[in-house]
A and B are shown apart, each in its own frame.
Chain A
Amino acid sequence: DQQVKQNSPSLSVQEGRISILNCDYTNSMFDYFLWYKKYPAEGPTFLISISSIKDKNEDGRFTVFLNKSAKHLSLHIVPSQPGDSAVYFCAAQMNRDDKIIFGKGTRLHILP
């Protein structure tokens, strides 16, 4: 049973435009959400996170939005750059000390 769902396996976005990656979750006990970026043959690297008490967190070109009532979060990247082409994993935890539950990932292609 997939508790963290990324329903888009891939997404293509023109360079300079906004990339929006979506994620849904089923477990209302999740308290902390994370986004990871992964290049081929490398491990995931942490990108940005958000606590359930917030609805938005921004870090440079990356913003994560959380809609608790809809059990939905999204990652916005603006402007998109070629180096953003990677697989993005949405993940969740019940608390910061708990195990991380990952989604299946979305492959983002930034088109020149």
Chain B
Amino acid sequence: GAVVSQHPSRVICKSGTSVKIECRSLDFQATTMFWYRQFPKQSLMLMATSNEGSKATYEQGVEKDKFLINHASLTLSTLTVTSAHPEDSSFYICSARDPRRGFEQYFGPGTRLTVT
């Protein structure tokens, strides 16, 4: 149990376009989802925390107008990178938490975004 999926696994987009990444909890209801970004040989950095039905809380230095997060249901959160630039190229990972299972965060497999 506690499976989290992400779609797509890889995406290439042109500079200036927007791209949406989906994060789904497949066998549990995730009241809270987290979005992380990992640059090569760097740690996973938390970008934002989203609670179902409310606005996401962004970490310092993360532009909320650039990284739009929607958590409209208990099983789906989306991250939209708007007006993407090459420096947005990174590995984006989501995680989800079900309070009924405790505080454990279950991670998705990640999405590799390349902006050309």
Which positions in A face B, CB cutoff 8 Å? 2, 4, 9, 36, 41-46, 89, 96-97, 99-105
List the B side residues contacting A101 at CB < 8 Å: 46
Which positions in B face A, CB cutoff 8 Å? 4, 6, 9, 34, 36, 41-46, 49, 59, 93, 95, 103-105, 107-110
Complex: how many Å from CA A104 to CA B36?
A: 13
A interface: dominant SS: loop
Selected contact of B9 from candidates A36, A41, A46, A100, CB within 8 Å: A41
Complex: how many Å from CA A89 to CA B104?
A: 15
List the A side residues contacting B59 at CB < 8 Å: 99
Selected contact of A45 from candidates B49, B103, B107, CB within 8 Å: B107
The answer to whether residues A43 and B43 also contact, given A99-B34, A99-B49, A100-B105 and a CB cut-off of 8 A, is: no
- Nearest-CB residue, chain A, relative to B10: A41
